[in-house]
Amino acid sequence: MTANTPRATRPFYWSVRREVWENRSVYIALLCAGGLGLLAFGFSLRLLAETMRGEHEPIDLVMPYAHISMLLVFTVFVVGIFYSLEALHSERRERSILFWKSLPVSDTTTVLAKASIPLVLMPAVALVIGVAAEWLMFVLSLVVALGGGVGVAALWREIPLVQLQMVLLYELVVVALWHAPIYGWLLLVSGWARRATFLWAFLPPLAVGIFEFITFRTHHVFRLLGDRLFGFAPQAFSPWTPSGPPVDPHMILLPELTPGRFLASPGLWVGLVIAAVLIALAIRMRRYRDPV
């Protein structure tokens, strides 16, 4: 590239940067969740050395790491819901969409950048925070354990840190893929509704489910909604350990992961197709929908 050659503008990259700049909650909430997990862990440190010297189960030491992972995954989902509901609606409400449309950035690029926040960026940030927090937890545990006469090898054997972090990565990917149609639906509502996006997003599915139950005494809609929220678990994780006992959700390790079964699940691929259709509709909605 010569000195006179113009650099690529990278509209997608800068669109993502714009979203992060305008919505700092996508990482501040995750930092708060990690900080809260560390604070809770700090209160339990005084019992660590006594726990290791006495009779204990492996889950007793691993549970704090599982809790911070669960907290981060839950935070990604909750913040992703509110972000998606505001992603297209806020720029229409503030009429800033008129300015952004004047720039040489397509509606497709803009909407895909917004969709990437809950699907890619927030899980990536959660993974970085989770890995950093768990290593800090392990170092603190090591200091306390050494002070209590417990060896490094014993602590490393009791806390399979690398496995726990690989499981966190797997959980974040699984949940993001499984919830993709939820985010697609919320983006579509955000681009369509003139006001009360939360009500428009959640009342219609609930109304259809209630109508079905009253009319036919069945609950297929509610079952479908529940499966889209939590159905990834039986597909992505084995309920049994390799040795036979049931898996404790606070201690899921690599042998309990079933990526093959998850990738072969029809629910995953049907959901991804629906998500693609909903995002395509959200792109079209942004192209033709007027400001509020």
CA distance 135 to 34: 12
Three-class secondary structure of residue 257 per DSSP: strand
Three-class secondary structure of residue 246 per DSSP: strand
Provide the pLDDT for residue 249: 81
Q: Are 30 and 72 in contact (CB under 8 A)?
A: yes
CA distance 193 to 8: 35
DSSP state of 2: -
CA distance 286 to 269: 26
Provide the pLDDT for residue 102: 79
CA distance 119 to 112: 10
Q: Are 291 and 97 in contact (CB under 8 A)?
A: yes
Cα distances from 277 to residues 32, 58, 198, in angstroms, run: 34, 45, 21
pTM of the entire predicted model? 0.91
Instruction: Give which of 169, 171, 68 is closest to 124, Cα–Cα.
Output: 169
Contacts of 237 (CB under 8 A, 6+ apart): 247, 252, 256, 257, 258
Q: What is the pLDDT along the chain (292 residues), one digit of tens a residue?
A: 555 555 557 889 989 999 999 999 899 999 999 999 999 888 887 777 677 666 667 787 888 899 999 999 999 999 999 999 999 998 888 888 877 777 788 999 999 999 999 999 999 999 999 999 999 999 988 887 777 666 677 777 778 899 999 999 999 999 999 999 999 999 999 999 988 999 999 999 999 999 999 999 999 999 999 999 999 999 999 988 777 778 888 888 899 999 999 999 999 999 999 999 999 999 999 887 777 6
CA distance 212 to 33: 38
Task: Give, for 234, the enclosing helix (H) or strand (E).
Answer: helix 232-236
Provide the pLDDT for residue 4: 56
Provide the pLDDT for residue 173: 97
Contacts of 137-141 with CB under 8 Å at 24 or more apart are: 137/38, 137/41, 137/64, 137/65, 137/68, 140/41, 140/42, 140/45, 141/45, 141/48, 141/61
What one-character-per-residue DSSP string does 81-113 give? HHHHHHHTHHHHHTTTHHHHHTSS--HHHHHHH
β-partners of residue 122 are none
CA distance 65 to 138: 9
